[in-house]
Amino acid sequence: MGFLRDSLSIFKKNKLVFKERRQHSGNVYTFEFEKPEDLNWLPGQHGLFTVTHKKVKPPTKPFTIASSPKDDVIGLTTKIDGNPSEYKQALLELEPGMEMHMSGPVGSFYIGDESSGVFIAGGIGITPFRAILRENDSTALNPKQSMTLLYVDGEGTFTYKDELEDIGGQEGIAVHFMESSENLYKELELLPRTGAEKYFIAGPYSMVESVAKHLISTGIPKKNIKKETFIGY
């Protein structure tokens, strides 16, 4: 069903009008676009974003939609260092009113209404969880559901920290920040397990794979682990 929906939506090219750019600490930027009225997605999904205002190679890259469907914008949050790729240089040159295209949404990295989630973010891998947590505030959670975010950032910059701390104060939602995988593994040990939780991991390949391996070694079944690997980091 998800595959069929993805196959169809991938052909849908949405025109996005650029609104504004926001800079976070640690060379992280959010690019916000007006939300087309007929564009819907499940928080955690990604789009294929195409630069159209200049020729760059490759012109299209996948990015998680970092905003929630409740927001009136499409947000793309990414890290841009001092030596950016052509693609990210083009993002920095966007002016209000200019356009990009987005195909999708695609992907199965989202949480079902019924399940509780343990979300593990590595650095910029926070983007899908920011969208999911913005969408699922306490009014949206059913009483049996809980969400725990474990956000690991070795640089300690923690994009969206203030916002996530606010969301973390709400019933059923816990948010923890840590700077090393050792601390992540300690936090994981402290979490109660019912066996029904789904574990979601997002971030660079090596981080996602090592955390998944760790979870499996502590008895979490593979079927309860969802991974979103940010190729390119």
Determine phi and psi for 104, rounding to 5 degrees. Answer: 115, -160
**Nearest distance in Å: CB 199, ligand FAD:** 17
Site string for ligand FAD, 81-120 (x = CB under 6 A): x-xxxxxx------------------x-------------
Q: Is 79 in the site for ligand FAD (CB under 6 A)?
A: yes
* Closest alpha carbon to 65 in 115, 13, 12, 127: 127
Chosen residue from 9, 32, 46, 135 binding ligand FAD by CB under 6 A: 46
**Nearest distance in Å: CB 219, ligand FAD:** 28
**Segment 118-147, which members bind ligand FAD (CB under 6 A)?**
124, 127
Q: Is 226 in the site for ligand FAD (CB under 6 A)?
A: no
DSSP assignment of 137-205, as one string?
-TTTS-TT--EEEEEE-TTS--TTHHHHHHHHTSTTEEEEEESSHHHHHHHHHHS---S--EEEEEESH
Does residue 88 contact residue 233 with C-beta atoms inside 8 Å? no
- Contact window for ligand FAD (CB under 6 A) among 72-80, 131-139, 143-151, 162-170: 72-80
Q: Is 1 in the site for ligand FAD (CB under 6 A)?
A: no
**Nearest distance in Å: CB 233, ligand FAD:** 6
* Closest alpha carbon to 149 in 86, 201, 74: 201
* Closer CB to ligand FAD, 29 or 185, in the complex: 29
Instruction: Look up residue 142 and give its two tokens.
Output: 């059913």
